[in-house]
């Protein structure tokens, strides 16, 4: 699968991405707001699972490389998975290597995948969660047009303390129709 934007493209991960994946998942800044930092064995296991998602039918989970459109340099990973089939709710998440932060790549990737989910996956609602201390992710959710639904208090344990988690969402009716009509 491939979704092309102005500056980036989203594509299925391949075996050639193994080293990039290890760098991304093992980076101290990309795991700063997570429950724990994965070790090499966990990183390898998670990469195998990510590759398997592309082969599953029906496809209810996507882990895609975020790449520069010009030369396919991988910048990060974006994912979306079916959370709740009855209400057509999908959950989106992302991580970019820190050297690509602040360039708008994550915002473009999130918007591309939200548009794809509404147009191709029959999504009604897309949710995102972020550690309340992660201001960059909160701003990104806002730039993507998502609305803050609430705060889950002390629902995550990270960096030796309990942390709150923010919930943001966007509904199909809130997404611009011209954007939602994009095709892969």
Q: Is the pLDDT of residue 91 over 90?
A: yes
Residue 146 is predicted with a pLDDT of: 97
Rounded-to-integer distance, Cα 172 and Cα 167, Å: 17
Question: Residue 26 pairs with which residues in a beta bridge?
Answer: none
pLDDT at 183 over 50: no
pLDDT over 80 (residue 113): yes
pLDDT value at residue 20: 92
Q: Which residue has the tokens 């009509």?
A: 181
Distance in angstroms (rounded) separating the CA atoms of residues 164 and 69:
36
Reply yes or no on whether the pLDDT at 184 is more than 70: no
Beta carbons within 10 angstroms of residue 182's beta carbon: 16
Domain annotation for the chain: domains and CATH numbers = 2-180 (3.40.630.30)
Higher pLDDT among residues 180 and 94, named by residue: 94
What pLDDT is recorded for position 35?
Answer: 65
Backbone angles phi, psi at 9, to 5 degrees: -135, 150
* Per-residue model confidence as pLDDT tens digits over 38-76: 778 888 888 888 888 888 878 899 999 999 999 999 999
pTM to 2 decimal places: 0.89
Task: Give pLDDT tens digits for 127-181.
Answer: 999 999 999 999 999 999 999 999 999 998 887 889 999 999 999 999 986 544 4
Mean pLDDT of 97-125: 96
pLDDT band at 33 (very low <50, low <70, confident <90, very high): low
At residue 108, the pLDDT reads 97
């Amino acid at each position: 699968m491939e979704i092309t934007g102005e500056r980036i493209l989203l594509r299925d991960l391949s075996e050639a991405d193994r080293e990039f994946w290890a760098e991304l998942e093992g980076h101290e800044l990309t795991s700063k707001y997570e429950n724990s930092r994965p070790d090499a064995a966990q990183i390898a296991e998670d990469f195998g699972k990510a590759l398997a998602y592309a082969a599953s039918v029906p496809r209810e989970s996507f882990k895609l490389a975020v790449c520069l459109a010009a030369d396919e340099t991988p910048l990060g990973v974006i994912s979306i998975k079916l959370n709740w089939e009855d209400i057509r709710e999908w959950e989106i998440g992302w991580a970019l290597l820190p050297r690509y932060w602040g360039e708008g790549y994550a915002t473009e990737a999130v918007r591309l995948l939200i548009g794809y989910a509404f147009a191709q996956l029959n999504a009604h609602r897309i949710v995102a969660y972020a550690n309340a201390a992660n201001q960059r992710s909160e701003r990104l959710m806002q730039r993507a047009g998502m609305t803050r639904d609430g705060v889950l208090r002390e629902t995550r344990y990270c960096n030796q303390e309990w942390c709150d988690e923010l919930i943001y969402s966007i509904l199909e009716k809130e997404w611009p129709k011209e954007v939602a009509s994009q095709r892969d």
